[in-house]
């Protein structure tokens, strides 16, 4: 029989009608923010796991008052378990919790991995849980600023047809837009997002490095308007937004670029990765310009010669 204290604790953990008790496994940048977003939508966060000091601090800020618990206890308390852990950890975690009998029939199990669909949650599904894959297509700072940014975000949703509306409704509740990604397409989906966002960071950092080598103290001021315009154009027009020496067939300019980048790298002013990245992207750009017919004839041949891997002058 429950005493008054136990009954009070159970009542505080019980969500309002129509709301879910949410357990957050992993108070990293994604988990803590999504937990806070679900809480703002009216769900009750009943527990969070946080191992590192940074995760504990993040949980305290974004999920104040939520108890920090061991993973099995978070799962035991929750009607919706949010698994916000690294891709390579997810499968073993789900299987390990299945081996200890932690999953519950009817429990919603949601992961935030872009790479995985619902197949990785099969051990939970076999125990009667309902698997959902929800991947926000945005970068996270792990602060309250992310909550506002969710309103502009798209979330890649993968779920079995009978429960797909449940997954979509959860996304709408946190203010984002659900986009259905089929199980077989999750790899391509995630590769596209990683290629675009992660490699954009590398590209911008390299461009800024080269500008600093050229003596400019504020590369961000130079690159900001230029790159924003390029991004807007590419999103609207794809390859049709291309400008610059490749599109114009300026083989001499490309040779000069390759030469000065090679020299700067040999002098230690920039990293050796920069000339290699520049060449690879210029070659890819030239191939796409030829494919859509904007780079043809002798100009195309001259550009190809200028971008031969061994040539810098």
CA gap 49, 56 in Å, rounded: 8
Q: What does the pLDDT read at residue 313?
A: 47
For the segment 263-274, the average pLDDT, to the nearest whole number, is 97
Check whether 7 has a pLDDT greater than 60.
no
- Sign of CA pseudo-dihedral 261, 272, 232, 284: positive
Angle, nearest 10°, between helix axes 273-291 and 186-213?
120
Q: What is the pTM of this model?
A: 0.86
Question: Residues of 115-129 as b/e, b for ≥16 C-beta within 10 angstroms?
Answer: bbbbebbebbbebeb
For the segment 43-56, the average pLDDT, to the nearest whole number, is 96
- Sign of CA pseudo-dihedral 18, 23, 26, 27: positive
The answer to whether the CB of 189 falls within 8 A of the CB of 114 is yes
Q: What does the pLDDT read at residue 50?
A: 96
Q: What does the pLDDT read at residue 18?
A: 62
Nearest of 273, 121, 87 to residue 191 by alpha carbon: 87
Q: What does the pLDDT read at residue 312?
A: 55
CA gap 119, 108 in Å, rounded: 14
Q: Domain limits of the chain?
A: 4-181, 189-306
User: Which CATH superfamily includes the segment(s) 4-181?
Assistant: NAD(P)-binding Rossmann-like Domain (3.40.50.720)
* Average pLDDT taken over every residue of the chain: 93
């Amino acid at each position: 029989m429950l005493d008054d204290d136990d009954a009070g604790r159970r009542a505080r953990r019980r969500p309002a009608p129509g709301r879910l008790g949410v357990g957050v496994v992993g108070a990293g940048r994604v988990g803590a923010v999504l937990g806070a977003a679900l809480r703002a939508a009216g769900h009750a966060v009943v527990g969070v796991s946080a191992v590192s000091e940074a995760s504990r601090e993040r949980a305290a800020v974004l999920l104040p008052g939520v108890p920090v618990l061991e993973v099995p206890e978070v799962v035991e308390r929750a009607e919706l378990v949010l698994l916000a852990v690294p891709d390579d950890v997810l499968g073993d975690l789900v299987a390990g919790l299945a081996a200890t009998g932690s999953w519950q029939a009817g429990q919603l199990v949601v992961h935030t991995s872009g790479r995985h669909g619902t197949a990785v949650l099969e051990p939970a599904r076999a125990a009667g849980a309902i698997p959902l894959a929800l991947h926000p297509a945005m970068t996270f700072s792990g602060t309250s600023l992310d909550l506002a940014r969710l309103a502009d975000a798209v979330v890649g949703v993968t779920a079995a047809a009978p429960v797909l509306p449940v997954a979509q409704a959860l996304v709408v509740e946190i203010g984002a837009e659900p986009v259905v990604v089929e199980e077989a397409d999750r790899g391509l989906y995630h590769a596209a997002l990683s290629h675009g966002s992660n490699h954009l960071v590398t590209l911008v950092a390299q461009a800024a490095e080269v500008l600093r080598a050229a003596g400019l103290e504020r590369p961000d001021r130079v690159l900001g308007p230029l790159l924003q315009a390029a991004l807007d154009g590419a999103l609207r027009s794809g390859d049709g937004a291309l400008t610059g020496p490749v599109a114009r067939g300026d083989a001499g300019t490309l040779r000069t670029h390759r030469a000065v980048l090679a020299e700067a790298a040999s002098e230690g002013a920039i990293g050796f990765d920069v000339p290699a990245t520049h060449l690879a992207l210029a070659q890819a750009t030239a191939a796409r310009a030829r494919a859509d017919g904007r780079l043809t004839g002798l100009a195309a041949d001259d550009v190809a010669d200028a971008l031969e891997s061994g040539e810098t002058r």
